[in-house]
Amino acid sequence: MCIFVIMEKKTKWTHETVAIEALKYNKRHHFQVRCRSGYEYARKQGILEEICKHMYKLNRESVTITALKYTERHKFKEEAPKERQYALRHGFLADITKHMVSRKKHSPWDDSDKLSKEAKKYTSRGEFLKGSKNAYGYALRHGKLDEICKHMKPVYNTWDRKSVLLVSKKYTTRKEFIINEPGAYNYAKNNDMLDEVYAHMVLLGDKYKRFIYHIIFPTENSVYVGLTFNLKKRKQAHIIESSNKWVKELISKGKPVIWVYSKEIYLVDEAVTMERDYIEYFKRNGYIVLNIIRGGGLGSRLDKWNIETVEMECKKYGTRTELREKSPSVYNFLIRNDLLESQLLNHMGPRTKGPKKITKKLLKTNYYENN
């Protein structure tokens, strides 16, 4: 690192010579930096205030005089930052900038007539907000919204049995209806109308429930068996670009196709079993099954552990400690379902100590103990 030092010529100072030297500077800081020995001499001799009378010094009076030179706040901030900072620190900035104007950003909506004309295009505030967001925001910020929206009438949806049933016809699934028409949904729910409202809607499955469907190609004597939670979307996916290469090829060639769906929705375990049974059924009846895997693919992750798989896993270990260390996910399953005292662990013998309740505090404590 390089340090540059300004070397001063050694001078023997007197009151007269230091006073003459001080006249060269307008600010004390400049005097102190550029003529350090003269400055120190004047300070020690007690004549610093006297010889620096002509110099500019930050105080309320000098800062006020400087501020009067400016008419715009942003220019004062840019060109006199030290003076502004001094006034801010000492709490009189607002007093010395009263005469200044702020830099104004012009908006096309400053024209009241133009703003009013824009608002008259709409019949409700909701339409105004959607159609002209900037104008609406400007009016709201400047307190003009009530004035320019006088001609608008408030829109209230008053639901009854007829209107709820009518609006429900727009939607094909329950999810769409609930998201887009919360008011109608709440009315139907509170008046026991949901079964009637949902009558025409397509039932959707979820992570734990699936429909079963078959894609049959009669001329090719082939079939594809699948599971899905949304029959409509799954059919579209097969038609546009099926994930099964054989189905994709046959559809692209324009082969006759028959789509068969289950009317009911089944729990995942049951649906998987039924899919495999259908595959075996079609094979026994001479169909070419197009499924690449033997069935049971769900397309989304499900919990790995259930009572049967946990029981099989537990039999691999002789103690609870070994189970906890080598298969923590099974051990956590047992804790979550209060099964540590169940018959699943009888072969391990009685427990010597009760399980600790897993909490954030316990996890944090164990972390620090182990590390």
Residue 339, C-beta contacts closer than 8 angstroms, at least 6 positions apart? 310, 333, 345
Q: Is the pTM of this model over 0.75?
A: no
Report the half-sphere exposure of 18 (CA within 13 A, side-chain side). 26
Phi, psi of 257 (to 5 degrees): -135, 140
- Assigned CATH for 209-289: 3.40.1440.10
Would you tell me the crossing angle of helices 231-241 and 245-252 to the nearest 10 degrees? Answer: 70
Length of the chain counted residue by residue: 371
Residue 189, C-beta contacts closer than 8 angstroms, at least 6 positions apart? none
Can you give the pLDDT at residue 182? Answer: 82
- Asked if residue 279 lies in contact with residue 227, where contact means CB atoms within 8 angstroms, the answer is no
Can you give the pLDDT at residue 5? Answer: 44
> What's the N-to-C CA distance of the chain in angstroms?
42
pLDDT along the chain (371 residues), means of 10: 49 86 84 88 88 81 88 88 88 88 76 89 86 89 87 76 88 80 86 84 64 88 86 84 86 89 76 83 87 58 64 84 82 71 73 45 36 31
Phi, psi of 124 (to 5 degrees): -145, 160
Domain coordinates in residue numbering, the chain? 15-51, 60-96, 109-148, 161-197, 209-289, 307-370
